[in-house]
């Protein structure tokens, strides 16, 4: 392992990149690796985000869990830090302040997002961004994340101020969490056949009960389901992205915390994966005339209310009993039927809203652990 070509060139790559590659090659689940590390899953997550540096204890745990030697992992960390330092110098020498202003990062200390003033603070803030996004400079970040608004399809609302950097941060958080989810190989045909089974889970009321089952079901077909709260400046409800040829991601924010919105967004993103290949889609609030968005919307709507049942929906009586009975026949939650009735203008927006489940974050958070 010490003869890896990486040691003979100026290579900017997190040690976590090697870790993930070795986990994939050996088909090791995150839990299998985490249990051999000091600090467990917290340490593994920190290695992925770059918040945890490899020391002697971590290097020994990695060597035992995935291979290599303690020396390999320590040298891997050292090379990365040396390359990282050179990149930080290069960003500082260019337009570092402008880049800092447009690229937020998640942090418990908001100082790095308020515009650091001292040289040491500026250096730390730039380093934090390079590590979190796993990029080797501002130009690479712009190509990979800064162009999202040009390269992806958005549904957004003009009523809210949207910060593209916040959206990029949310997407990156999703990518990091998805790396901790083991999935089978991407199987669009299998996913298509399981759509009915997926939407039937909407009948389960509590996120702590349906989210683990939904995540496991999607993982069977190569989809990592991730939930990350949207940060300030990000109005995204969901995103779909192929992380590799064998692994897809559906990212949800639970933005409105209601069952009709969550499930429609989930099905919309699955529609993107099945209909539109490897493109990245980030769906924010509002209505789009984009053809691809209309196709994903139609996919979600037709999954909730199959086309052959839509005439029955149009003539459905607007009372609780009728909607509940119709929903049971479809094996979906009444809130989803209600959402479709309101969206199609069959009833007013303030009618029958007791059929819609709305969750608190106290109900959602335990399901994300």
Q: Where are the alpha helices (DSSP H) in the chain?
A: 15-26, 30-34, 40-49, 56-66, 70-93, 96-102, 119-133, 138-141, 148-151, 164-178, 188-193, 195-200, 207-219, 259-276, 291-304, 310-314, 320-330, 334-343, 361-364
Q: Which helix (H) or strand (E) holds 95?
A: none
Please state, in angstroms and rounded to a whole number, the distance separating the CA atoms of residues 28 and 79: 25
**Phi and psi at residue 183, in whole multiples of 5°?**
-135, 160
3-state secondary structure (DSSP) of residue 308: helix
Which residues, other chains included, contact 278 with Cβ-Cβ below 8 Å and sequence gap of 6+?
A: 242
What pLDDT, on the 0 to 100 scale, is given for residue 108? Answer: 52
Q: Exposed, middle or buried, 214 (CB in 10 Å: 0-12/13-18/19+)?
A: buried
Please state, in angstroms and rounded to a whole number, the distance separating the CA atoms of residues 12 and 96: 19
Across the strands, what pairs with 249? 224, 241
Q: Please say whether the beta carbons of 230 and 157 come within 8 A.
A: no
What pLDDT, on the 0 to 100 scale, is given for residue 101? Answer: 84
Q: What angle do CA 165, 167, 171 make, to 5 degrees?
A: 115
Give me the helix-helix angle, 291-304 and 334-343, nearest 10°: 140
**Phi and psi at residue 227, in whole multiples of 5°?**
-120, 125
Radius of gyration of the chain (CA): 23
The per-residue pLDDT string of the chain (369 residues; one tens digit each, 9 = 90 and over) reads 444 443 433 457 889 999 999 998 898 999 999 999 999 999 999 999 989 999 999 999 999 999 999 999 999 999 999 999 999 998 888 877 888 888 889 865 444 455 556 788 888 999 999 999 998 888 888 888 876 654 444 444 444 455 778 899 999 999 999 999 999 999 999 999 999 999 999 999 999 999 999 999 999 999 999 999 988 888 889 999 999 999 999 999 998 999 999 999 999 999 999 999 878 888 876 545 688 999 999 999 999 999 999 999 999 999 999 999 999 999 999 999 999 999 999 999 999 999 999 999 999 998 876
For domain 1-92, which CATH number applies: 2.170.130.10, 4.10.490.10, 1.10.260.40, 1.25.40.10? 1.10.260.40
**Best CA proximity match to 240, nearest among 330, 341, 161, 171:** 171
**Best CA proximity match to 3, nearest among 68, 58, 56, 96:** 68
**Best CA proximity match to 156, nearest among 267, 229, 234:** 234
**Phi and psi at residue 157, in whole multiples of 5°?**
-110, 135
Across the strands, what pairs with 242? 248
Please state the length of the chain.
369
Q: What residue ranges do the domains of the chain occupy?
A: 1-92, 179-368
Please state, in angstroms and rounded to a whole number, the distance separating the CA atoms of residues 345 and 327: 18
What pLDDT, on the 0 to 100 scale, is given for residue 287? Answer: 46
Neighbours of 48 (CB within 10 A): 22
Terminal CA-to-CA distance of the chain, rounded, Å?
Answer: 35
Token pair for 199: 């939407």
């Amino acid at each position: 392992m010490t003869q890896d070509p990486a040691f003979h060139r100026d290579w900017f790559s997190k040690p976590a990149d090697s870790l993930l590659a070795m986990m994939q090659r050996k088909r090791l689940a995150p839990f299998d690796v985490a249990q051999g590390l000091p600090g467990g899953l917290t340490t593994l997550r920190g290695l992925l985000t770059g918040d945890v540096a490899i020391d002697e204890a971590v290097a020994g745990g990695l060597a035992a869990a995935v291979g290599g030697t303690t020396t390999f992992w320590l040298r891997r960390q050292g090379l990365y830090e040396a390359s990282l330092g050179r990149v930080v110098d290069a960003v500082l020498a260019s337009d570092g302040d402008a880049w800092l202003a447009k690229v937020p990062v998640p942090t418990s200390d908001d100082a790095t997002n308020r515009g650091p003033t001292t040289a040491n603070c500026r250096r730390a803030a730039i380093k934090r961004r390079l590590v979190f996004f796993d990029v080797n400079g501002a130009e690479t970040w712009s190509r990979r994340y800064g162009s999202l608004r040009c390269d992806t399809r958005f549904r957004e609302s003009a009523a809210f101020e949207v910060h593209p950097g916040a959206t990029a941060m949310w997407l990156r958080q999703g990518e990091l969490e998805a790396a901790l989810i083991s999935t089978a190989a991407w199987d669009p045909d299998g996913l298509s056949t399981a759509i009915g089974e997926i939407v039937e889970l909407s009948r389960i009321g509590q996120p702590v009960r349906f989210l683990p089952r939904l995540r496991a079901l999607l993982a069977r077909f190569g989809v990592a389901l991730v939930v990350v709260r949207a940060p300030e400046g990000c109005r995204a409800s969901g995103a779909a992205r192929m992380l590799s040829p064998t692994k897809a991601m559906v990212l949800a924010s639970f933005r409105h915390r209601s069952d009709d919105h969550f499930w429609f967004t989930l099905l919309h993103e699955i529609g993107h994966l099945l209909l539109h290949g490897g493109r990245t889609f980030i769906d924010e609030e509002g209505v789009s005339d984009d053809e691809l968005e209309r196709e994903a919307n139609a996919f979600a709507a037709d999954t909730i209310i199959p086309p052959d049942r839509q005439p029955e929906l149009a003539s459905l009586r607007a009372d609780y009993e009728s909607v509940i009975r119709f929903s049971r026949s479809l094996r979906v939650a009444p809130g989803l039927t209600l959402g479709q009735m309101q969206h199609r203008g069959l009833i007013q927006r303030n009618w029958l809203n007791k059929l819609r489940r709305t969750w608190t974050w106290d109900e959602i958070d335990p399901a994300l652990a």
